[in-house]
Homo-oligomer: A and B are copies of this chain.
Amino acid sequence: MKQSNRFFCGIDFGGTAAKIGIVDEKGNLTATERVEISAGDGYDDIFGEVAKKIRSLCGKLGVSLEAIGIGSPGFIDRSEGRVLQGSENLPVFKNRSLVKNLSDDFALPVFADNDANCAAAGELKFGVGAGYESFVMITLGAGVGGALVLEGRVFRGTRGLAGEIGHICLDPQGPFCTCGSRGCFEQYASASAIERSYLEKCGKRATGPVGPTGAEPVTAEVVFQRAREGDGCAIEAVRETAQHIARVFGNLVNVFNPEACIIGGGISAAGEELLEPVTQYIADFAWPLPLSGVKIHTAALQNEAGILGAAAQCLERLDL
């Protein structure tokens, strides 16, 4: 790996840990560290520990940073990097700026954005989004996140709150969502939604050796695996998930006329298994004209997508 000259720090906050990495301008992740976060930890403690690890990583590698990028769950205020809402797993961050401490500490540009926007920045700078001026991204995992890249930038909206694709209403009589609305896309395409859909089908049909009585716990990954093995209930659960994704992509193709749609998050590891039916069904929902030429991808960044995306936002915001 040829070393380049510019280095950025990416910090990926989750409920139980901050993952920290040093990333060069080509997207090479050269070293990582981890700060465990416990329920009682204070804001300053966490950022003090993070700063220490960043210094130790830079010292070890002998590099200086150009900027620090932070990705976090929740609504992040565009101007101050403040966590406005949605960080239930990191309650200590609520209404606090994610950038202030590190910015004072390192005298560097520090940026913060929600994790789906970071994922989009990651694909734009280092992944399948490179070369596109515009794309729609969804991240499928425990929840469903989303982001828009328009005219070569992550589109953040008036206050930085844009991209909540997971809360497009698919059915106003559908299941209640964490956001308080009903029938949100998240209720049909998150990992637990895929698991639930599969288990419901198994429960009614009692087909095969699989289902809730199986020895292994049924995760979304297992559902995709069983679909590959020919389990009818799993095939149908995957097909329905793909239809919901295709519907949301189709709607957004009509509204944005983008060049591509990208599926990220843990579930995107399913690859062709998901890509093929989504590509098939999207024609049911999009106008042929804006759809023509639109490419559907799964994300290129899988492991460490969080760190890479957090770092990529530095390049995106600094126009590098």
A residues with a Cβ closer than 8 A to B are 75, 84-85, 133-134, 146, 148, 150, 155-165, 167-169, 172, 179-182, 243, 247, 250-252, 254-259, 284-290
Contacts and interface: CB of A to CB of B under 8 A. Distances in A.
A84 B255 CA distance: 17
A158 B259 contact: yes
B289 A167 contact: no
B133 A181 contact: no
Residue among A150, A168, A251, A289 having the largest count of chain B Cβ atoms under 10 Å: A251
Contacts of A289: 75, 84-85, 161
Contacts of A250: 169, 181
Given A146-B255, A158-B133, A252-B255, A285 B169 contact: yes
Contacts of A133: 158
A224 B137 CA distance: 40
A75 B256 CA distance: 13
Contacts of A254: 164-165, 167-168
Contacts of A284: 172, 181-182
A112 to B, nearest CB: 16
Interchain residue pairs A-B with the least CB separation, the first 10: A157-B257, A164-B254, A162-B257, A161-B257, A161-B290, A168-B251, A167-B254, A158-B257, A85-B289, A162-B256
Contacts of A75: 287, 289-290
Contact of A290 (B148, B164, B259, B290): B164
A135 to B, nearest CB: 10
Contacts of A257: 156-163
Contacts of A134: 157-158
9 contacts: A84-B289, A134-B158, A157-B256, A158-B257, A162-B256, A164-B254, A172-B243, A181-B250, A181-B284
Contacts of A163: 255, 257
Contacts of A251: 167-169
Given A133-B158, A157-B134, A285 B181 contact: yes
Nearest to A136: B255
Contacts of A167: 251, 254, 287
A222 B181 CA distance: 33
Contacts of A288: 180
Nearest to A181: B285
